[in-house]
Amino acid sequence: MKDKIFVVSDIHGLKKVYNTITNYLDEVALCNPEYNIKLIINGDIIDRGPNSIEILEDIIERQNNQKGYFQIDALAGNHELMMYEALQLRDDKLGWFTRDLSWFNRRNGAGNTIIQYDELDDERKHNIISFLDNLELQKTFDQAMLDTKGVIVAHANASSLIKYMNDQYNIKYKLKDIKDEVEGIYLREKGYSNKYYEIISTVWARKNDVENLGLRDYTTIIGHTPVKTKLGYEYDKKNKTLNIDGGCAAYAYRLIDDLTIPLVELDFKNKQLIVNRFSIDGNQLDTHIITEDGISKEKSKVLKI
């Protein structure tokens, strides 16, 4: 069975956005049983919006094959890292040793998430911690795309370290690996290592340093920083970077009037990226196809695959 891989980013606790994507892909999967449909949620699933815990539990249910018709792989964003640091990186003897407990900072928009998490019973809390534990930081596809030799999906920044470790040792860095690194640093009473900084740069860096990291041969799909246009995405051909943070964080606070949700398909067969654009109400707007020659626009094709 052939895979079809889609990527969405920065849902930020908006159930309407999450439902738009999952309903669409459920239909795609049902109408195209010859394909194995996979969705990568590229971090910042939570905070800002009102439905973070509900969305996390739905993802967990789908990952346990209890719901839906397609697979979900979730990557860590900076908000998942902040939640993980606040809830998990603690030892009774050591006390708090996280970055700055930034998840509890009101400006980071975790208020609803914290309240909802506190109301869960122990089993549901355990399920969410286990989910956070196993969030990967980066996915690499070594299949030709556009004029590059592959695709890297990371929330904010591609890491040459993680790419190298994946290639050499088949190590998939997850949030629980950050826990091990931070605990080791704290116990040694030494400063943070370059390894730690490069790991967390995948979810925190505001500028994609693909060229500096020696990953210029890859097309990198990121989110984290909202795009400046109403397209919902920005493609930087020079740096081979596609940003698909459409602005859900601002929409959660009604700081923008409308929202365009980009869902990207990795079309390795034709070496192109297909950006399916949706409105906040779930209507498919149109499809933009990114090729080596530029970006073409098509009218909406329902269940395009």
Please write the tens of the pLDDT for every residue from 210-245: 655 567 899 999 999 999 888 999 999 988 999 999
Find the radius of gyration of the CA atoms of the chain. 19
| DSSP 8-state secondary structure symbol assigned to residue 256 | S
Measure Cα distances from 88 to 75, 103, 135, 156 in Å: 17, 12, 14, 22
| pLDDT at 205 > cutoff 50 | yes
The predicted model scores a pTM of 0.91
Q: Give dist(CA 231, CA 236) in Å, integer.
A: 14
Q: Is 149 helix (H, G, I), strand (E, B) or coil?
A: coil
Q: Give dist(CA 178, CA 195) in Å, integer.
A: 10
Q: For the chain, which domains are there?
A: 2-299 (3.60.21.10)
- Where are the extended beta strands (E) located within the chain? 2-8, 35-42, 71-75, 90-91, 95-96, 138-141, 150-154, 218-222, 234-236, 241-243, 260-267, 272-279, 284-291, 294-299
As a whole number, mean pLDDT of residues 102-115 equals 89
Structure tokens at 217: 């041969």
pLDDT tens digits, residue range 116-135? Answer: 999 999 999 999 999 999 99
Specify which residues 267 forms β-bridges with: 272
| pLDDT at 181 > cutoff 70 | no
pLDDT computed for residue 149 by the predictor? 93
Q: Is the dihedral of CA 58, 248, 221, 113 positive or negative?
A: negative
Q: Give dist(CA 150, CA 215) in Å, integer.
A: 10
Q: What is the dihedral of CA 138, 140, 279, 281, to 10 degrees?
A: -60
Amino acid at 189: E
Neighbours of 41 (CB within 10 A): 25
Measure Cα distances from 192 to 88, 133, 181, 286, 294 in Å: 18, 21, 9, 46, 42
